[in-house]
Amino acid sequence: MRRLLIRSAAAAASLAVMLAATLPGTATAQSAAAPAASSSQAADAADAGTTANPAGTTAAANAASASNAAALSGPPAGFVAPVMPLPEDSNAQRAKSQPLNNAPFWRGVRESGVNAGISNLPGAEKGVLIQPFVQYPGSRHTNAGEAWRQVRNEWIIPYGGSLVVITLLALALFYFTRGPIGGHERHSGRLIERFTYFERAAHWANAIAFSVLAISGLVMAFGKFVLLPLTGHSLFGWLTYALKTGHNFAGPLFAVSLVIVFITFVRDNIPSRDDLNWLARGGGLFGGGEPPSGRFNAGEKIVFWGGVFALGIVVVGSGFVLDKLLPGLAYLRPDMQLAHMIHATAAVFMMCLFLGHIYLGTIGMKGAYRAMKTGYVDEGWAEEHHSLWADDVKAGRVPAQRSQRRPPPVLPAVAQPH
């Protein structure tokens, strides 16, 4: 048993010598070899005199244990331990303490939205690779780019598209169940100028610009779900590029024409007490017959103040930010993301509101489209749909012909119900 212990001590001493030999410095290796030699000699002496001299055996074992302890008590002379990595290390410092560990670099990338890094890329946000964490309405707490994507893909696209479809279905259902409104007053043959040439030009310019914006916006938002499977990527790519360009150019035209429309029609869209009666009766849906109204009824005033004025300011303002037309803004990614969310949301509500206006101005009301096309309506039409305005014309408070005198167009007689 003693012999086994002595052999084990000698083997441990030899292992220490081998480890020391791999370290730099010849003197260190030689100093480590001396205890190992002593341990080997002690082991040989123990083999030779184990039976003859038990006391010598004990002394040899003690000597071997002392040599082993001296070899393993600490690093050899001249040994320098590597620096321990610290959380605040730079990437260069970490390369020395822990080579191939680039945690400081990626930590800097992740936090570049708070502490901008250094980059050779151009742009105002060249040192920001990942935006800071935010939480927009409808998103989770994540970086700003991902939060914007969640709001767009999980809220604006599905719910905005659903609202547009529901509006179209409601208008179609109303048309096929109730049919067009009007046609109950007898055709008198006496014409009233409802819109001047300037008013119609402003309206049509605004309507055309709105149509371009609405169609291009719908294709850019929902086209990949509807058109892409039908047209393929190449045609769809060219189509969306052309529509995006048209969207950017039609935007300023829409803004200018919207201001002109507001200034032109604001006088006759001032709310009055008669509008409450019109709203209470649902514009004639409840109680039979249209309630009395002035030149524009309460429904048209809602479209004017809600769509043209309120939503118009929001859509145009956010659109100018997206087009980078407003001076003094840095146009950073957070600015563009917020502008896009506001622009898309307001545009969906504007489209739904204007769809109802377009419906009533075309197939939803008899004679309405002809009024915007020619500028004139029959006196019977005015009495049926805008009786207070017709009374003002008859009383001379409002002129029947507001533009320069010229022969009014001859309107065909409308067939009367029996």
How much is the pLDDT for 302? 97
**90 and 104 in contact (C-beta within 8 Å)?**
yes
The pLDDT of residue 67: 59
Task: Note the pLDDT tens digit of each residue in 103-130.
Answer: 888 887 877 777 777 777 777 787 888 8
Q: What is the mean pLDDT of residues 387-415?
A: 78
Measured CA to CA, the distance from residue 390 to residue 406 in angstroms comes to 21
CA distance 240 to 224: 10
Average pLDDT score over residue span 178-199: 88
Query: What is the tens place of the pLDDT at every residue in 305-362?
Result: 999 999 999 999 999 999 999 998 889 999 999 999 999 999 999 999 999 999 999 9
Amino acid 248: pLDDT:
93
What is the Cα–Cα distance from 330 to 326, expressed in whole angstroms? 10
Question: Which has the higher per-residue pLDDT, 356 or 33?
Answer: 356
Mean pLDDT (the chain) is 82
Q: Which two tokens stand for residue 213?
A: 């914006």
User: Which residues 6+ apart lie within 8 Å of 408 measured at CB?
Assistant: 191, 193, 376, 401
Tell which wins on pLDDT, 257 or 69: 257
**What is the domain partition of the chain in residue ranges?**
1-46, 144-196+266-395
Q: Which of 248, 271, 270, 265 is nearest to 203 (CA)?
A: 265
| Model pLDDT for residues 124-180, shown as the tens digit of each residue | 787 888 888 999 999 999 999 999 999 999 999 999 999 999 999 999 999 999 889
Which CATH fold would you assign to the domain 144-196+266-395?
Answer: Fumarate Reductase Cytochrome B subunit (1.20.950)
- What's the pLDDT at 328? 87
CA distance between the termini of the chain: 129
Compute CA distances 32 → 5, 37, 39, 46, 200, whole Å.
21, 9, 11, 22, 104
Which pLDDT score, from 0 to 100, does residue 101 have? 85
